[in-house]
Amino acid sequence: MKTSKQSIARLHSYREALYRLKYLGFVKVFSDNLADAIGATASQVRKDFSIFGLIGNKKGGYVIDELINKLDELLGKNQPQHIIVVGSGNIGKALMSYKGFGKVGIHVVAAFDTDEAKTNRAAEIPILPLGELKEFAKQRHIKVGVIAVPDTAAQQVLEMMISAGIKGVLNFAPIRLNCPEHFVLNNVNLGIELETVVYFVNALNRQAHDEKSKS
Amino acid sequence: MKTSKQSIARLHSYREALYRLKYLGFVKVFSDNLADAIGATASQVRKDFSIFGLIGNKKGGYVIDELINKLDELLGKNQPQHIIVVGSGNIGKALMSYKGFGKVGIHVVAAFDTDEAKTNRAAEIPILPLGELKEFAKQRHIKVGVIAVPDTAAQQVLEMMISAGIKGVLNFAPIRLNCPEHFVLNNVNLGIELETVVYFVNALNRQAHDEKSKS
DNA sequence: TAGATTGTTAATCGATTAACAATC
DNA sequence: TAGATTGTTAATCGATTAACAATC
């Protein structure tokens, strides 16, 4: 089964779009509509669905409720997912208060920080000392964490998480982390995301100038 | 010239790695070392360099200072880039205080928010009312912006930015935005990034269970 | 020279898109 | 039935990797 990161991301997008359509009162949907909704092609939609065994009706399109149920099952949305966040700086806080995680069944159950002045056990999402991570994660069977600490601390935090039984991490530290072979590591580098935008804008600009000087 | 988003992102990674190596006292580097540093293959490094006209010495590797100079020029690092951020929630604040933008020549010169209670003209990075965006961006010739507002406001903000002459956006709102053909739009969907981690961790788990029940 | 590394071309791989028979 | 849409196979496209001649 083709389960690249990209195809899984698309399944999540389809699911989101389908909930929107359902909310608007639609009952059925064509591959064409879904493609528009997420910015893909109809071929891609049908291909994805074919790979994951999502079937529709020739001529009749797809029944939205059925699709949603199948996707919820495929994507593990039927049981809530408990995750933790390490680092309570701005990115950590952004993740802790991310609207929309609730809708997709993801719950941040605690955050951790080396700075014990930030400890707050009474908060809705408690902030705990980093030293308590291992015990907490083991006890609560946490499988997924977020690393939102400075890059100098990231590798150490990752190792702490691994030893606590965590199996996958979304990492915001702009540094290459070493992890075991089957560990799930997804890196988001905000700096590079922004730099690529700047690059392509400048490239466009250069192109425009070149065009002008040519004529 | 092959300038996919991915290859440009790699150039930025090479640059970062080269600065680290230079700082450590290295003078030359082989494609092999650089590949290790950013998690690619030596072939990929040489291919990228060949495409962008970065040349080394057969047998002698690449001179770090030369590479850095060429990359700085290619990536437009020689003149500072001024950008703005719209939305001063957690993600907006994270971008405003992102350590590392300075190093790469990116400067957030202002943030904007609909909530005028947040206005703060005296701050190091001033927070201004959204209504002032257009004039500010035009006057300062801002070309790149960040959208960190709720998804219900994102399209409207994008249009405001376009009319102010902005040519590229890094968008954090989890929604598909419509923009002109040559506009540079880069979407980061934190929800989906996290959901894909959760998915693959669960998939690993299922696999492990299947293996066990097989034996 | 012998050994090592580049630069480039060719091979592979994977993902997207197109095409079209099946069929409702 | 005629028209439209699926499901799947084939074609295309693009990116990565392998191979190797050139050469320091």
- At B118, which amino acid appears? K
Residue A215, pLDDT score? 46
Which of A163, A162, A154, A164 lies closest to A187, judged by CA?
A154
* pLDDT at residue B100 in the model: 84
Q: Please give, rounded to a whole number of angstroms, the shortest distance from the CA of A214 to a CA of chain B.
A: 19
What secondary structure letter does DSSP report for A119?
A: -
Dump pLDDT digits (tens) for A106-139: 999 999 999 999 999 999 999 999 999 999 999 9
Please give the structure tokens belonging to residue B134: 């257009």
Residue B215 pLDDT exceeds 50: no
Residue B102's pLDDT is: 85
C1’ C6 / CA B48, Å? 13
User: Residue B212: its pLDDT value, please?
Assistant: 59
Confidence of residue A212 (pLDDT cuts 50, 70, 90): low
Residue B210 has what pLDDT?
67
Q: Identify the structural domains of chain A with CATH numbers, from first to last.
A: 5-73 (1.10.10.10), 81-192 (3.40.50.720)
* Alpha carbon separation from A46 to A35, A50, B175 (Å, rounded): 9, 6, 22
**Nucleotides of chain D touched by protein CB (<7 A):** 3-10, 14-19, 22-24
Q: Name which of A184, A189, A203 is nearest B201 (Cβ-Cβ).
A: A184
Q: Residue B207's pLDDT is what?
A: 72
In which residue are the tokens 């990359």 written?
B71
Contacts of A4 in chain B (CB under 8 A): none
What pLDDT shows up at residue B181? 87
- A211, HSE (Cβ side, Cα atoms, 13 Å): 6
Check if residue A13 sits with its Cβ under 7 angstroms from strand C.
no
- What are B128-159's pLDDT values in tens digits? 999 999 999 999 999 999 999 999 999 999 99
Distance of A157 CA from C22 C1′ (whole Å): 55
User: How does pLDDT run across B92-104, given as a tens digit for each residue?
Assistant: 999 999 988 988 8
Of A182 and A67, the one with more pLDDT: A67
pTM of the model: 0.92
> What mean pLDDT comes out for the span A59-70?
95
Interface touch A76/B168, C-beta < 8 Å: no
d(CA A141, CA A7): 28
CA distance A65 to chain B (A): 21
Interface test with chain B among A195, A204, A210, by most B beta carbons within 10 Å: A195
pLDDT-derived band at A99 (thresholds 50, 70, 90) equals confident
With the CA atoms of B19, B24, B26 and B30 taken in that order, what torsion angle do they form, in degrees rounded to the nearest 10? -60
pLDDT attached to residue B59: 87
At A1 the pLDDT is 56
Chain centroid to Cα A83, Å, comes to: 12
Q: pLDDT at position A152, please?
A: 95
Residue in B closest to A14 by C-alpha: B192
Q: Residue B16: is its pLDDT beyond 80?
A: yes
| Arithmetic mean of pLDDT, A168-183 | 94
- Residue A107 CB: number of other CB atoms within 10 A? 11
* Region class of B175: left (phi > 0), else alpha (psi between -120 and 50), else beta: beta
Rounded CA-CA distance B20/A152 in Å is: 13
Does the structure show a pLDDT above 80 at B208? no
Report the C-alpha gap between B110 and B113 in whole angstroms: 10
Please give the average per-residue pLDDT across B45-66, as a whole number: 95
Helix-helix angle A5-23:A64-74, to 10 degrees: 140
Mean pLDDT to the nearest integer, A161-183: 95
